[in-house]
Amino acid sequence: MNRGEGLTTRELEARLGVPRRLVAGLVAAGLVTPMRGRHGEYVFSFQDAVLIRTAGSLLRACVAPTQILRALRHLERLKPNRHLAAVRVGACGGKVSARDHHGAWIVESGQRLMDFEASEEAAGQITEFTRQPPPYAEADAALAQGRALESVDVRHAEAAYRRAVALHPGMLEGYLNLGCLLADQQRLGEAISLYEAALAMLPNEPELHFNLGVALEDTGATQAALSAYERSIELAPRDADAHYNAARLHQELGHMQKAIRHFNQYRKLNRST
């Protein structure tokens, strides 16, 4: 694939409705391997985009992001010579299921399911076996409203994002979108407070630590920003951007050995994508 082809993270979010945090998790887990565009952004192949769409459908079917990543990694080990985009994956009762020639089964447990043939045969098509309404529907609607308003009415977009996280305090994407909105307006103190509050509930989300680092760096809090980037790397060691930012700050602080280590890891990850 040539640079410039494929979809960027922003395009995936806009076209497929897949949250950035899920894309970042798939990249960190090595399940998708994007290239770098001319400005350093991730660019995803068609096959990777299909798998990302599948993961997004699982998320909308109320499967937890950590379960999605665990199940897809398990499937990758079971089918090492086949791209996961070609595997028929579904959601059943909040768990990830797959279908083979014997029928459907729960990926993590191996438990077989009653074999109701899906009406859709396309690879990667998600079929919900349960028809219960998704939880936090009102929070999801507020999040969608915030996205729609962000480019035309920042004040009401902020209100929508705040409503989303109030309705669903565990909604990572709501915190990320709201934090970026605040930072874009140079309301850095508010953004930092928001990320810190989010991390009290979601301490193991690398993108929250990364965004906190960016906001802290913009205020001149170099050491605190570096700590945030380092924690992000602990949680997502394949995040090239976090290694790059950590390398810059170590260099600024005179920690040359650590700076070189992170720069080398950044280059290695860029070569592998």
Residue 91 and residue 15 share a domain? yes
Which pLDDT belongs to residue 118?
42
Distances (CA, A) of 10 to 42, 62, 114, 127: 9, 23, 38, 26
Judge if pTM exceeds 0.85: no
* 25 and 81 inside one domain: yes
Q: Specify if 181 maps to a domain.
A: yes
Q: Identify the domain boundary among 152, 169, 203.
A: 203
User: Do residues 140 and 196 both lie within one domain?
Assistant: yes
Q: How far apart are CA 113 and CA 21, in angstroms?
A: 30
What's the rounded Cα separation, in Å, for the pair 179 and 67? Answer: 26
Residue 40 is predicted with a pLDDT of 77
User: Is 117 a domain residue?
Assistant: no
Question: Of 157, 172, 203, at which residue does a domain stop?
Answer: 203
Q: Is residue 256 part of a domain?
A: yes
Q: Please determine, for residue 262, whether its predicted confidence score (pLDDT) is greater than 60.
A: yes
CATH number, domain containing residue 92: 1.10.1660.10
Nearest to 129 by CA among 144, 143, 111, 142: 111
Looking at the fold, whether 18 and 83 belong to one and the same domain comes out as yes
223 with 191, same domain?
no
My answer on whether 54 and 82 are in the same domain is yes
User: Is pLDDT of 81 > 60?
Assistant: no
143 and 178 co-located in one domain: yes
Quote the mean pLDDT of the chain: 81
Whether residue 152 lies inside any domain: the answer is yes
In this structure, the answer to whether residues 241 and 193 fall within a common structural domain is no
Domain boundary among the residues 172, 203, 234 is at: 203
Q: Is the domain of 174 the same as that of 225?
A: no
Instruction: Give me the amino acid identity at 13.
Output: E
> Is residue 28 in a domain?
yes
- pLDDT number for residue 100: 62
The answer, yes or no, to whether residue 154 has pLDDT greater than 50, is yes
How many distinct structural domains can be found in the chain? 3
User: How confident is the model at residue 133, as a pLDDT?
Assistant: 43
Q: How confident is the model at residue 122, as a pLDDT?
A: 38
Mean pLDDT for 228-233 is: 95
My answer on whether 224 and 261 are in the same domain is: yes
What is the mean pLDDT of the segment spanning 224-252? 93
195 and 268 both lie in a single domain: no
In this prediction, residue 226 carries a pLDDT of 96
Q: Could you tell me the CATH number of the domain that includes residue 171?
A: 1.25.40.10
Q: Is residue 13 part of a domain?
A: yes
Q: Looking at residues 3-22, what average pLDDT do you find?
A: 74
Query: Bigger pLDDT: 132 or 257?
Result: 257
Residues 192 and 247 placed together within one structural domain of the fold: no
How confident is the model over 184-192, as a mean pLDDT? 94
Q: Is residue 228 part of a domain?
A: yes
Residue 139 has pLDDT above 80, yes or no: yes
The range of the structural domain enclosing residue 26 comes to 7-106
Distance CA 271, CA 238 (A): 12
Over residues 103-129, the mean pLDDT reads 53
Q: Which residues contact 92 (CB under 8 A, 6 or more apart)?
A: 104, 106, 113, 128, 129, 130
Is 111 in contact with 102 (CB distance < 8 Å)?
no
DSSP state of 94: T
